[in-house]
């Protein structure tokens, strides 16, 4: 009897140890971040520019900002450099940050006014490659909730941190993430990108209604294809800032210039 009790005791102790080890392994596994695709697939726009794209949830997202200069039917998008022309045009238009393609064009993509992105309002023209489209506000919402399942709202979430490119001045991640050359995020000691999904968000800045440029290195902001129903001169955007970890939602004038990411569902 004594031998049986000893064997039973050893069995129970072994079982307890195994359960503890399994629990520890599970916790460690939960800490692991999703690994971006090693070889992203490529989509090509009508200008011949190539963009990697990745799956996040049920949606395919471009992993770079759009830099196309034509709609996918071959017709040109109006290129405006003058501030007054930018403010007063009634056409879809694009610009390069600071009117400087060499420095910012390939690094951050183009900045488009809303009409260039909205096929329902520009005569049915599509700025995205064939089969792709500008995301709806709901697509951005789905992205935020997929990336941060604990998101409280459009301002209290950690989706921006997970979607930011890790390229940043003085990035604590070091190595290839710690860079000072464009494209990169400006330095911030509390907020840095981890790029968990390969979205590689980069801060292309904005062009204001007045035609002025600001925020390159500081903010990434993208159009949605959704009008603000309470203010028809504005449409919904999503943005990430160098000094925040959220993916934020805001309603902006359709005249402003923002970046574009295309989706395929």
One-letter-per-residue 3-state SS of the chain: CHHHHHHHHHHHHHHHHHHHHHHHHHHHHHHCCCCCCCCCEEEECCCCCEEEEEEECCEEEECCCCCCCECCCCCECEECCCHHHHHHCCCCEEECHHHCHHHHHHHHCCEECHHHHCCCCCCCCCCCCCCCECCCHHHHHHHHHHHCCCCCCCCCCCHHHHHECCCECCCCCCHHHECCCCCCECCCCCCCCCCCCCCCECCEEEECCCCCEEEECCEEEEEEEEECCCCCCEEEEEEEECCCCCCEEEEEECCCEEECCCEEC
20 lies in the same domain as 80: no
- Is residue 263 scored above 50 in pLDDT? yes
Considering only residues 143 and 34, tell me which one the structure prediction assigns the higher pLDDT: 143
Question: Residue 3 — pLDDT band, cuts 50, 70, 90?
Answer: low
1 lies in the same domain as 89: no
- Is residue 246 scored above 80 in pLDDT? yes
What distance in Å separates the CA atoms of residue 227 and residue 170, rounded to the nearest whole number? 38
13 lies in the same domain as 113: no
| Cβ–Cβ under 8 Å, residues 264 and 248 | no
77 lies in the same domain as 160: yes
71 lies in the same domain as 167: yes
6 lies in the same domain as 71: no
What distance in Å separates the CA atoms of residue 51 and residue 42, rounded to the nearest whole number? 5
135 lies in the same domain as 118: yes
What distance in Å separates the CA atoms of residue 144 and residue 129, rounded to the nearest whole number? 24
What are the pLDDT digits (tens) for 89-139?
999 999 999 999 999 999 999 999 999 999 989 999 999 999 999 999 999
pLDDT at 8: 44
pLDDT at 18: 44
Quote the tokens at residue 157: 């979430």
What distance in Å separates the CA atoms of residue 55 and residue 13, rounded to the nearest whole number? 45
Q: For residue 23, what are the domain limits?
A: 1-32
Query: What's the start-to-end Cα distance of the chain, in Å?
Result: 67
- Lowest-pLDDT range, 24-33, 49-58, 256-265? 24-33
2 lies in the same domain as 78: no
Question: Residue 9 — pLDDT band, cuts 50, 70, 90?
Answer: very low
Average pLDDT over residues 205-212: 98
The number of domains in the chain is: 2
54 lies in the same domain as 92: yes
Considering only residues 149 and 36, tell me which one the structure prediction assigns the higher pLDDT: 149
What are the pLDDT digits (tens) for 60-73?
999 999 999 999 99
7 lies in the same domain as 121: no
What are the pLDDT digits (tens) for 168-189?
999 999 999 999 999 999 999 9
28 lies in the same domain as 73: no
pTM, 2 dp:
0.85
pLDDT at 22: 43
49 lies in the same domain as 27: no
| Cβ–Cβ under 8 Å, residues 74 and 46 | yes
């Amino acid at each position: 009897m004594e031998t049986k009790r000893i064997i039973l005791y050893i069995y129970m102790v072994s079982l307890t140890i195994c359960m503890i080890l399994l629990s520890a392994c599970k916790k460690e596994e939960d800490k692991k971040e999703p690994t971006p695709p090693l070889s992203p697939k490529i989509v090509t726009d009508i200008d011949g520019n190539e963009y990697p794209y990745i799956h996040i949830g049920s949606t395919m997202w471009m992993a770079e900002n759009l830099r196309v200069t034509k709609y996918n039917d071959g017709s040109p998008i109006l290129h405006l450099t003058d501030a007054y022309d930018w403010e007063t045009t009634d056409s879809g238009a694009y610009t390069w940050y600071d009117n400087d393609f060499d420095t910012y064009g390939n690094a951050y993509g183009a900045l488009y006014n809303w009409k260039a992105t909205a096929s329902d309002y520009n005569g049915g023209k599509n700025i995205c490659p064939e089969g792709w489209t500008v995301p709806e506000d709901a697509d951005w919402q789905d992205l935020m909730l997929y990336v941060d399942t604990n998101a409280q709202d459009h301002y209290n979430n950690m989706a921006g941190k997970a979607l930011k490119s890790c390229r940043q001045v003085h990035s604590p991640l070091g190595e290839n993430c710690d860079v000072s050359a464009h494209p990169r995020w400006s330095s911030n000691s509390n907020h840095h990108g981890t790029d968990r999904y390969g979205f590689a968000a980069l801060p292309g800045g904005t062009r204001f209604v007045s035609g002025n440029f600001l925020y390159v290195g500081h903010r990434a902001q993208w159009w949605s294809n959704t009008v603000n129903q309470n203010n028809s001169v504005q449409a919904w955007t999503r943005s990430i800032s160098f000094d925040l970890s959220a993916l934020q939602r805001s309603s902006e004038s359709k005249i402003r210039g923002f970046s574009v990411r295309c989706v395929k569902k």
